Amino acid sequence: MKKSIPIMMAAVLAAGVLAGCSGQAEETEASGEGVEILVAAAASLKNAYEEELIPMFEEQNPGVTVTGTYDSSGKLQTQIEEGLEADVFMSAATTQMDALNEEEMIASDTITNLLENKIVLIVPSSSELGLASFEDIAKAESIALGDPASVPAGQYAQEALTNLGIWDSIQDKVSFGTNVTEVLNQVAAASADAGIVYATDAASMADQVTVIAEAPKGSLAEPVIYPVAVVANSAHPDEANAFVDFLKTDEAMAVFESYGFSAGQ
């Protein structure tokens, strides 16, 4: 019987150590250390996020890791609707954000129209077609556009070209990309004679594509706005809110501006 006392004491001590470790783990999670958040962002944001903004945020928030997933805003919207455990969503148009908000999948009080972009007509840098205006896209033999079904850049292109009376006449020349990066790469590789992308995308490959013109004034009903917000069911709302707040700081906005974005309206 006496021999069982040390064994019992050892068991109690071990339980105490395990409880202490568990408490430390909970405190670490609560303090933001060891937390990973997932940011679902439009493909046109990847360079700014990966090259500068995410490393900057992680340096200022030790223990918080940010992982980005990038695609067309429409695809990301669908993924979130189907259960993607994203903490932050940033789209290249208000349509996708509004849809998720109506479905109560976004923390509505966190929605911020953070950035504005421009839609531009581009050609390969080696092009000799002599295009001089946005409307000249009709002269190209092959055209790359984002799929309007899911790609905001494609939706903006369709709107502008429809208002200019060009959309229907070019359909037999168009190949649709699944996101704006795919469209950019097609033009950069001269697989397409011309394409329509965001100004920021064109700037990222300035040595491979030439910007011909911006979408004419009046061809788009609304500016090209990029909203950002915290996802309603985020497992880490504090860290997600901190990331969104960081994106609104002067230093983060300066980074966005260096990539060709301007402040949203």
Q: Which residues are annotated as a binding site?
A: 44, 73, 153, 180, 198
Name the region of 82 (left: φ>0; alpha: ψ -120 to 50; beta: rest).
Answer: alpha
Could you count the other beta carbons within 10 Å of the beta carbon of residue 20? 10
Residues contacting residue 107 through CB under 8 Å, at least 6 positions apart: 229, 230, 231, 232, 234, 237
Q: What is the dihedral of CA 243, 249, 251, 257, to 10 degrees?
A: 100
Distance, CA of 240 to CA of 168 (rounded, Å): 43
Going by the annotation, the residues of the binding site for molybdate are: 44, 73, 153, 180, 198
Asked whether 162 and 248 are in contact (CB, 8 A), the reply is: no
Please tell me what DSSP assigns to residue 24: H
Distance, CA of 110 to CA of 107 (rounded, Å): 6
Bridge partners of 41, per DSSP, are: 70, 90
Crossing angle (nearest 10°) for helices 152-163 and 94-102: 120
What token pair was written down for 54? Answer: 């995410």
Phi/psi for 259 (5° steps) reads: -95, 5
